Amino acid sequence: GWQASMKSGSLSYFLPCNRLPVQLMSQVRVYTSNGQKKDPGSGDTNGSAPQEAPNKAGTGRQDTSNAGQKQSFIKEPIQVKVKAVLKKREYGPKYTQNNFITGVRAINEFCLKSSDLDQLRKIKRRSPHDDTETFTVYLRSDVEAKSLEVWGSPEALARERKRRKEAEIKYRENLFRNQRLLREYKEFFGNTKPRSSAAAMFFKGPGKVVMVAICINGLNFFFKLLAWVYTGSASMFSEAIHSLADTCNQALLALGISQSARTPDPSHPYGFTNMRYIASLISGVGIFMMGAGLSWYHGIIGLIHPHPIESLLWAYCILAGSLVSEGATLLVAINEIRRSAQAKGLSFYQYVVQSRDPSTNVVLLEDAAAVLSVAVAATCMGLTSLTGNPYYDSVGSLGVGTLLGTVSAFLIYTNTEALLGRSIQPEQLQRLTELLESDPVVRAIHDVKATDMGMSKVRFKAEVDFDGRVVTRSYLEKQDIELLLQEIQQVKNLEELEAFMLKHGENIIDTLGAEVDRLEKDLKQRNPDVRHVDLEIL
């Protein structure tokens, strides 16, 4: 316990506060260890009494003034500012009460009927599709409650989902079986179905060029093969192999064109456009292996084991016919590329190097190589016939192989670059960037990427910093300001303020989504090659 009392006139206390310190002056009463109450001005029991009298005598006026100050401090009220905040809501790791769900998903995922949805609340929302402005959605919580009402329990709903999944698998198996039977029926009785769009692709554009090349190169292979059998010329054998490689490769291109026309599916949401590049890449590899490889092999064998060549008259005639046919196919490919390059605003060289149309490029380069290889083969065969030296013919075979190897290397390089996803031209990217930056709703854009997906399809991606003030003003311009002002004046407490802010905050977010849709539409109109636009909001 305390053995002596404490002497104090006044004490200052500081209350902790976020904004300002509050000072209190109060009189403190001190108790001894024996429980007796003493005033702050009283002395010690063991010897403070002699000093007490002089203190009282000498400081009477000061005590009077201190007492007045104490009275004034006690009368002043304490003012503390408290910040009003809303109570934070804990949503948990998974919160789906406010999620919207479409009618199709509600029927498929919760095993409901369309009549069950008629009893639920319908909400009109902004549509993500270009062809519709609004569409109807439902609250996920309402759909879940309705499914439990229909099926009784989550276990019963899970059993129904499993049953429908098994029925869907069985339906797909039956559908595949029926399609196979229908195909066999068509093959037996004949197909009277009108020509499909995939077949119509081979009567115009790149498809027409490929089909003409297949027919001509097939005939060239047949006649060159007969000439090689008759003459035994190494150059003629290289030409026959060259025509066979061209025919096979162009058949592969036709397959790629037909596959690229397939509609997108859930496994391939961006479609099958790259099948043309894949077919062209395989075609380039085939040219290298079949054309260049066999030509080099036969030329080397001719140099190691030369043998005399029979009459070359028929070989010259076939080469002349091949030159005319290959030249005709080459002109068809050149005209098609020139027309497509003019439509894209590119030069002939840029269109070919950028591999804008891989199928036509393959036909162009193969036929150009064919024309040059015919000239090389004819020259070397002529030297052989004049000098009687078979080495010229073998050198011609090596020259044809080298030419085919160069063409195949170019095709492999250009198609590989296209499949890797190269960027579009800097001028086009700059135009798209300027379009976004010139819009008042955009503050800045970052991480801009524009990838050429092939066949005049571009995917554009950018992170956009939107100006919230402009977005909010765009929302306010569509509202009745007088009615909005009345709503503000009716707000009296925190609950009403929260309801007001939540209502208009959601509408402002919808306005932001509408601005994103507008920018995506403007980008597609400015550059028709842009098919997919991804704008990320910062």
Class of CATH domain 94-188: alpha beta
DSSP for 166-205, please give it.
Answer: HHHHHHHHHHHHHHHHHHHHHHHH---SPPPHHHHGGGSH
pLDDT at 78: 66
User: What single-letter DSSP state applies at residue 232?
Assistant: -
SS3 content of the chain, % helix, strand, coil (to 5): 65, 10, 25
C-alpha dihedral, 368 to 370 to 375 to 378, nearest 10°: 180
Domain with CATH 1.20.1510.10 in the chain: 201-420
Closest CA relative to residue 302, chosen from 240, 237, 239: 237
Alpha-carbon span 61 to 164, nearest angstrom: 99
pLDDT at 14: 42
Which stretches in the chain have pLDDT values below 70?
Answer: 1-89, 91-95, 128-132, 180, 183-203, 235, 309-312
**In the CATH scheme, what is the homologous superfamily, with its name and number, of domain 426-537?**
Cation efflux protein, cytoplasmic domain (3.30.70.1350)
pLDDT at 220: 82
Looking at CATH, the fold of the domain delimited by 201-420 is given as: Alpha-lytic protease prodomain-like (1.20.1510)
Domain with CATH 3.30.70.1350 in the chain: 426-537
pLDDT at 473: 92
pLDDT at 199: 59
At residue 468's C-alpha, the angle toward residues 462 and 470, to 5°, is 100
pLDDT at 28: 44
Phi/psi of residue 532, nearest 5 degrees: -130, 125
Amino acid identity, residue 201?
A: M
Domain with CATH 3.90.530 in the chain: 94-188
